[in-house]
Structure 1
């Protein structure tokens, strides 16, 4: 029997989770490894490097820039044979160019989120996903081979553009095929490969001490991702939303077969969808639709700020931990490993308490850890590493939460552009992050002060957002505007009863 009007007819046809969803989500999650490698690779592309002038008797980097060096720079190559710092002499007056390289990369991710997000809402999720994988592969190889720093910046920008595209389109595909509690569980576990990528980055750098080999090692595995063209289907939700019913029917039939769902008439499902949403297909939206109506505008701005916090603090702390002294490989590996408990905690907390309290708690944890860093003397390595790692733990809780939270708040017709533009705000934060880390030259307390103060504001803005746990995904722009407005206890209780997954703690108007 097909689901009736008022229920999620699409989810009822393909099931909340089965072999079909498992295969797609596992396949897509693999691309989070190169996403992590490329975004965090700057830690080993431009690690802290000791240098001195060839005609100087001192090997102190702090004194090397005090006077002109005509004899050329000498670099300590004990740990790394070649980095972008040693190859292009990014020291003294050129030192900020390493930060510029990361800022350019995050700018590329920002634009990739937006451009591929817009493309995915207009032409579908699958084609932009595969196109971004192809661009990521060729641009990544080019980065490793280019002999000029300006060329390095250009190709790394293109690599970032592709990385931003893979991030957004892959996440939305997973969001739109999962239902019930599985949307929470899988979309959170989907971030663990990123943490594994963060952790394994240290191992790759340990064995590839020349940055050219390191960059190739990060890029070549993307060859396997070209198989997505054959493995990943188009989103049936998007196909239905834009009126491509025959293609949607074919995808849903395959999902039913893989998940062994019987007794569902696909034609009746499509008819129910059309009756519920209207005979005319919903027009694809644009970024302006996120601000046209008051409720959507407030939600969008709060989501945007919290994404910015996540980008600034996560990537800022990841770089900060590489500059605090000690073994850089161990520090980076530890900061990657500690992200995994954060992602796993998300599943329990978001299911038990909801999306909003989980995001708020993650922001407060990161803020507290960073502010405590101010009280730790700069020469105490392990306390500093530990508190920075706890800050990353807070961000590794907030990041999966804000992904899922925003994906559930934005309606289908603008979900890609909504999540994409939100992620754009995270990239703005990550673009600023290297320069916040560099504030340590003016005072060791400045980076932790910024990394601690910003999340406090984000936590307060969480109070303006509605809870999404237990509600079907909004599809139309009207659905998105109405979602989160004051509802009666009876309506909320009915939703809880129908979905069978929301926590009873949220049967109260104050959370909406």
Structure 2
């Protein structure tokens, strides 16, 4: 009788515990079933930075405007060739014995194709003969070495100063490409250094 009473009391205690949910029995899940992700995690966690400094407001707008000022020097370098490398009219320079010959007559006689090649002159060719169209017209041309430029509109440019025409015209584009390559290398190097040192120190240097 005593053992029966103990069994009854034990069963009552277990029922009581289960009733107040002190013990919970969960069915075992198979290894093939994937664990569920809580709904809060699926929706995405809150941005810690936005939580600290707040959403986009006046302070963020001010910082964006101030940081954009550092891009102006780079912009000046990119747009500089638009003004300093302005293409103007040019022609092969006249020899000293034909310095009195008008520019239009000289271009018409010596450079019928382009200013990169000039007609070969003979010792008998003078300014008077060329103006009267009695000079010899040889079909032989040679490459021009020195040019004159029209400086009436923009004055002196890097093209007129360094003679960046004909075979050397590509050097103007090469200068722009080299600058952009330097900007890319500098940005990549700064990013690499920022991983080793603090970002603000790298930016200031």
Please give the secondary structure, in 1, of the residue aligned with 2:46. Answer: coil
2:122 matched residue in structure 1: none
1:23 and 1:61 map into 2 onto residues whose CA distance is: 60
SS of residue in 1 equivalent to 2:73 = helix
Shift of 1:105: 0.8
Residue 126 of structure 1 and its aligned partner are, at CA, apart by 2.1
Q: Tell me how far 1:61 sits from its aligned partner.
A: 10
Give matches, 1:204-215, under 5 Å.
Answer: none
Bigger-Rg structure (1/2): 2
Distance 1:61 1:49, change over 3 A: farther
TM-fit CA distance, 1:100: 1.2
Corresponding residue for 1:65? 116
Pick the aligned partner of 2:180 from 106, 121, 135. 106
TM superposition shift of 1:62: 6.0
Q: Contact 1:52 / 1:58 at 8 angstroms: preserved in 2?
A: yes
Q: Does 1:36 align with 2:72?
A: no
Q: Report what 1:96 is aligned to.
A: 170
CA distance in 1, matches of 2:45, 2:93: 76
Q: Of the candidates 30, 46, 49, which is equivalent to residue 10 of structure 1?
A: 49
TM-score by length of 2: 0.54
- The alignment of Structure 1 onto Structure 2 pairs a total of residues equal to 126
CA deviation profile, 1:306-327 (whole Å, cap 9, x unmatched): xxxxxxxxxxxxxxxxxxxxxx
Q: Distance in 2 between matches of 1:18 and 1:123?
A: 30
Question: Match of 1:52?
Answer: 91
In 1, the alpha carbon distance for the partners of 2:113 and 2:77 equals 30
**In 2 relative to 1, CA 106–122 (structure 1 residues): closer, same or farther, beyond 3 Å?**
same
The alignment status of 1:75 with 2:149, answered yes or no, reads yes
Structure 1: 5+ residue stretches without partners: 132-512
Cα deviation code 1:402-460 (max 9, x no counterpart) = xxxxxxxxxxxxxxxxxxxxxxxxxxxxxxxxxxxxxxxxxxxxxxxxxxxxxxxxxxx
Q: Is the 8 A contact 1:50 1:61 kept in 2?
A: no
Q: Is structure 2 residue 22 aligned with structure 1 residue 22?
A: no
User: After superposition, where does 1:362-401 map in structure 2 within 5 Å?
Assistant: none
CA contact (8 A) 1:52 1:75 kept: yes
Deviations 1:293-340 (A, max 9, x none): xxxxxxxxxxxxxxxxxxxxxxxxxxxxxxxxxxxxxxxxxxxxxxxx
1:27 deviates by 0.9
Map 1:208-227 to 2 at 5 A: none
More strand by share: 2
For 1:509, the equivalent position in structure 2 comes to none
2:175 is aligned with 1:126: no
1:155-194 map, 5 Å: none
* Per-residue CA distance 1:242-295 (angstroms, 9 max, x = gap): xxxxxxxxxxxxxxxxxxxxxxxxxxxxxxxxxxxxxxxxxxxxxxxxxxxxxx
Offset at 1:12? Answer: 0.2
Q: How does 1:299-314 map to 2 (within 5 A)?
A: none
Q: Is the CA contact (8 Å cut-off) linking 1:65 and 1:92 kept in structure 2? A: yes
